[in-house]
Amino acid sequence: MRWTVTGALAVAQLTAREALRGRLWLPVVGAALIMAVVALRLDGVDAEARRKLSVALVVGSAGFIAHLLAVLVAAQGVRRDLEGRMALLLFAKPLPRFGYLLGRWLGGMAAVGAALAALAGIGLGIIAWRSDLPVSRSAIPADAWWRLTAAGAAEPIAAGQDLVQVSGAAGNGVRLRFGAMPDGDGEILLRAAVLGTEAAPVTQCAVRIDALDASGGARPLALAAGSPYGQASGDRPGVAVLRDHGEERRELDTDYVRVRVDAAARAADGSLTIRVTRLDSAAALRFAVADGALIAVESGGFALNLARATLAMLAAAAPLVAWTLVCACVSNLGVALLGGLTLLFTGSALPVLAETLAHEEAAAPLRRIFSVLSWIVPDFDRHHLAARLAATRAVEWAAVGDAALYYGAYAALFLGLAWWALATREVA
Amino acid sequence: MPDDAVLRTVALTKVYADFWGRPRVKALDRLDLDVRPGEVFGLLGPNGSGKSTTIKLLLGLIRASAGDAFVFGRDPGDRSVKRRIGYLPEETYLHRFLDAEETLRFYARLFALDRATTARRVGELIELVGLGHARKRRLGEYSKGMARRLGLAQALINDPDLVILDEPTSGLDPIGSAEVKDLIVALKRRGKTVLLCSHLLADVEDVCDRLAILHQGVLRSIGRVDELLVASDRHVVELTSPTPEVLAAVRAAAGASLVGTSHPRERLESHFRRIVAAASPPSEPRP
């Protein structure tokens, strides 16, 4: 163990030096320049769009360049040692082969981390230069949902059910409960798909939103100032208009009705129960259980959220470095680069592939192949970091932890494979 | 074979296989060898004779197809064994983006040397190999000879008990070559064991105690240099100030002025050529 750690640290330092002196920082400089030039060209759009584009540009570019760098650093280091026969010297020393691989992996991660930190820092400056730094908010989903009939009967929504749809005569709706509201005043965010019929298409539906107390008493809730849509219908208290913004749009600032909740609306245990009642019989409402109703709370400054996103991106580089090490141990530089990039692009395309297969109702064998693929290949867009930050949604520590576990498991598996490949290889 | 041998091989065989595992080349065939503590042992052979394969087997870099290899009585892959070995490969394979000090510090870390020892050894070895003036220069800017000197320094960073030198004078000028020979003699004086592979037969003859000649993967000759090079079927008669008459008499029979007789000693080069020629298949007759 001691030899593994000692050797790994020495090789990690060697890898970081190699990346620095091999001018692998040039792509980072190039990406920073491209970010600055593109940001300069964002004058033709309004401030809101400019902010979103700047954030998406910075986070997207940083992630892409860092992941490319991960493949380059890992492939180049190992292939240089094997093809340049430095491995003869290295493995004649008391350096365990796993220690060597661990060092290459750690050094690659250090290089990627440095690149990400540099790009995030430069990107933060670019965003601040082109627009105000946005305030990121965490969104907490409702704990429990019920479908309500017009007569007031409540049917709980089973766990695992993704959507809740209410239609038919007006007066029915949904009830939902948030287990723990944050202290002080807050906001509830609501969004739903508004469905009509082909004969009578509709895009909006009036609803009444009430807070319910323990005895079942209802108190109408008012819209928050600045709620982007859902203006109160006439002077009826608690009445808002839900408008259809399309299934894909989920930005907290623009695609949700924002309802103000004061401390008095909360129950003694800190929970909050609200009721949404349909007022239009012509429109059906379809809520997504995962994010149809959210509590939005401010979650640190943008810089902190960007830092957390950077950590999650760094975690995503872990399996890339490890997989490229596998490829570098079994074949030449070209194959190692191709292998690493294939994993990167396949893993980045997984969500699109899944959507396409679902949309096209693909044949069973194809779906099975995709199912296997989604197990083998890590999803590099698992946390939608660029989209989240651009939509002012926070990147919580939980996401960083999830990224570390998810990508860490793949990295451990790939490192094991790389070790097997190197341990069985003769250094001739 | 002595139990205290630093290096020992028993019927060591290596067959290189292709991708599908089919035997391709028999690089080493049942090699029996032992190298004793404190001796300088020469391993000779033409290109492709199995010298480098033997070294790689002794360093645990490749696996034997049959037979056994022991270094300090243990498996060559054992880390406690590798801690005691210094190795200079036939070409200098070092990282070109490091300078001399960084290179030696890197290899010192692989041996887990502490900071003080590392600093001392790095300073000593850079001076020993005459690279004091270029210690901060990147290896990419080194000449072949300078890189060779640094390679030699890295082989000694852990103060090894066994030093394996594969063509140590390759790329060195005559002065550098002489310094390397002096260094080998100095290592021997300090009780180190040296395994030396070289094509420069005069170098081997000068510094080696024993040598082995490999050809086509087979051990053709092994023994003390003195014993191998002596021509036992002939005698040298050495006289002091012989008169023509005495010389004439000696031609008939040895006389009173005879101070001693010995077998003549051939040069290693002619011995080597003879061994290799005897082991090689006869060439096709020309039409």
- Tell me how far apart the alpha carbons of residues B104 and B41 are, in angstroms, rounded to a whole number: 26
Could you tell me the two tokens for A201? 């298409």
Cβ-contact A88, B93 below 8 angstroms: yes
- Tell me how far apart the alpha carbons of residues B187 and A421 are, in angstroms, rounded to a whole number: 38
Number of neighbours of residue A149 by Cβ within 10 angstroms: 14
- Any bridge partners for residue A140, and if so which? A295
Which residue has 């490890």 as its token pair? A322
- Phi/psi at A16 (nearest 5 deg)? -65, -40
Could you tell me the two tokens for A94? 């008391």
| Cα–Cα distance list, A52 to A125, A192, A399 (Å) | 15, 23, 21
Residue of B34, B153, B184 lying closest to B87 (CA atoms): B153
Which residue has 């028993």 as its token pair? B10
B279 SS3 class: helix
Cβ–Cβ below 8 Å for B112 and A428: no
Could you tell me the two tokens for A169? 């005569």
| pLDDT digit string (tens) for chain B, length 287 residues | 456 889 999 999 999 888 787 878 888 999 999 999 999 999 988 888 888 899 999 999 999 999 999 999 999 988 889 999 999 998 888 898 999 999 999 999 999 999 999 999 999 999 988 888 888 899 888 888 888 889 999 999 999 999 999 988 887 888 888 888 888 888 888 889 999 988 777 778 888 889 999 988 898 888 887 777 666 666 777 777 777 787 777 777 755 555 555 666 677 767 777 777 777 665 544 44
| pLDDT digit string (tens) for chain A, length 428 residues | 778 888 899 999 999 999 888 888 888 888 888 888 888 777 767 777 788 888 888 898 899 999 999 999 999 999 999 988 889 999 999 999 999 999 999 999 999 999 999 999 998 998 888 777 877 878 888 989 999 988 888 899 988 888 999 988 888 999 999 887 777 677 888 888 888 877 777 888 888 899 888 777 888 888 877 777 656 555 667 788 888 777 777 777 778 888 888 877 888 888 889 999 998 888 889 999 988 898 887 777 889 999 999 999 999 999 999 999 999 999 889 999 999 999 999 998 888 887 787 777 777 888 888 888 888 899 998 888 888 888 888 888 999 999 999 999 999 999 999 999 999 888 87
User: Strands A173-178 and A218-220, how do they pair?
Assistant: unpaired
Q: What integer pLDDT is reported at residue B283 of this predicted model?
A: 52
Q: What integer pLDDT is reported at residue B282 of this predicted model?
A: 57
Q: Select from B61, B80, B83 the residue whose CB has the most chain A CBs within 10 Å, as the one to mutate to test that interface.
A: B61
Q: What integer pLDDT is reported at residue A230 of this predicted model?
A: 59
CA neighbours within 13 Å on the CB side: how many for A286?
12
B16, B80, B85 member nearest A92 (Cβ): B85
Q: Give every strand in the sheet of A257-261, ordered side by side.
A: A137-141, A293-298, A186-190, A257-261
**Residue B236: burial class (beta carbons within 10 Å; 0-12, 13-18, 19+):** exposed
B102, B106, B110 member nearest A94 (Cβ): B110
| Contact residues on chain B for A9, CB-CB shorter than 8 A | 109
A13, A22, A92 member nearest B61 (Cβ): A92
- What single letter denotes the amino acid at residue B49? S
Q: What integer pLDDT is reported at residue A325 of this predicted model?
A: 96
Cβ–Cβ below 8 Å for B61 and A6: no
Total residues found in chain A within this entry = 428
Three-state SS annotation for chain A: CHHHHHHHHHHHHHHHHHHHHCCCCHHHHHHHHHHHHHHHCCCCCCHHHHHHHHHHHHHHHHHHHHHHHHHHHHHHHHHHHHHCCHHHHHHHCCCCHHHHHHHHHHHHHHHHHHHHHHHHHHHHHHHHHHCCCCCCEEEEECCEEEEECCCCCEEECCCCCCEEEECCCCCCEEEEEECCCCCCCEEEEECCEEECCCCCCCCEEEEEEEEECCCCCEEECCECCCCCCCCCCCCCCCEEEEECCCCCCCCCCCCCEEEEECHHHCCCCCCEEEEEEECCCCCEEEEECCCCEEEEEECCCHHHHHHHHHHHHHHHHHHHHHHHHHHHHHCCHHHHHHHHHHHHHHHHHHHHHHHHHHHHCCCHHHHHHHHHHHHHCCCCCCCCHHHHHHCCECCCHHHHHHHHHHHHHHHHHHHHHHHHHHHCCCCC
- Quick check: A73 contacting B, CB < 8 Å? no
Residue of A310, A409, A320 lying closest to A74 (CA atoms): A320
Q: What integer pLDDT is reported at residue B261 of this predicted model?
A: 59
User: Strands A173-178 and A144-148, how do they pair?
Assistant: antiparallel
Could you tell me the two tokens for B74? 């243990």
- Tell me how far apart the alpha carbons of residues B201 and B199 are, in angstroms, rounded to a whole number: 6
Q: Select from A93, A332, A425 the residue whose CB has the most chain B CBs within 10 Å, as the one to mutate to test that interface.
A: A93
Q: Give every strand in the sheet of B7-17, ordered side by side.
A: B23-35, B7-17, B66-71
Q: What integer pLDDT is reported at residue B254 of this predicted model?
A: 59
| Contact residues on chain A for B78, CB-CB shorter than 8 A | none
Residue of B18, B1, B19, B20 lying closest to B10 (CA atoms): B1
Q: What integer pLDDT is reported at residue A232 of this predicted model?
A: 55
**Gyration radius of chain A over CA positions:** 26
- Tell me how far apart the alpha carbons of residues A413 and A66 are, in angstroms, rounded to a whole number: 21
Q: What integer pLDDT is reported at residue A282 of this predicted model?
A: 86
Q: What integer pLDDT is reported at residue A358 of this predicted model?
A: 74
Which residue has 């730094």 as its token pair? A133
| Contact residues on chain B for A7, CB-CB shorter than 8 A | 109-110
Which residue has 């089973």 as its token pair? A158
- Give this complex's ipTM: 0.81
| Contact residues on chain B for A17, CB-CB shorter than 8 A | 97-98, 102
| Contact residues on chain A for B91, CB-CB shorter than 8 A | 85
| H helices, E strands: number in chain B | 10, 11
- Phi/psi at B223 (nearest 5 deg)? 160, -175
Q: What integer pLDDT is reported at residue B204 of this predicted model?
A: 81
- Tell me how far apart the alpha carbons of residues A122 and A57 are, in angstroms, rounded to a whole number: 12
**Domains, in order of start, for chain A:** 2-134+302-423 (no CATH), 137-298 (2.60.120)
Cβ–Cβ below 8 Å for B87 and A89: yes
